[in-house]
Homo-oligomer: A and B are copies of this chain.
Amino acid sequence: MAVSAEIPVVVRVQRADFDAAAETAALTARNRQIGAIVTFTGLCRDEGGSLAALELEHYPGMAEAEIRRICEAAVERFSLQGIAAIHRFGRMEPGENIVLVIAAAPHRHAAFDGASFVMDYLKTSAPFWKKEHRADGSESGWVDAKDADDRAREKWQR
Contacts and interface: CB of A to CB of B under 8 A. Distances in A.
A36 B43 contact: yes
A110 to B, nearest CB: 12
Question: How many copies of this chain sit in the oligomeric assembly?
Answer: 2
A60 interface: no
A30 B43 CA distance: 12
Nearest to A35: B45
Given A109-B152, A112-B116, A116-B112, A37 B41 contact: yes
A109 B149 CA distance: 10
B38 A43 contact: no
Interface of A: 19-21, 24, 30, 32-46, 48-49, 94-95, 106, 108-109, 111-112, 115-116, 119, 152
A140 to B, nearest CB: 18
B39 A43 contact: no
Contacts of A20: 20-21, 24, 39
Contacts of A37: 39-41, 43
A71 B116 CA distance: 21
B95 A40 contact: no
Given A33-B45, A35-B44, A45-B106, 19 more contacts: A19-B21, A20-B21, A20-B24, A21-B21, A32-B45, A32-B46, A32-B94, A33-B46, A33-B48, A34-B43, A34-B45, A35-B43, A37-B43, A38-B41, A38-B115, A39-B39, A40-B112, A108-B119, A109-B152
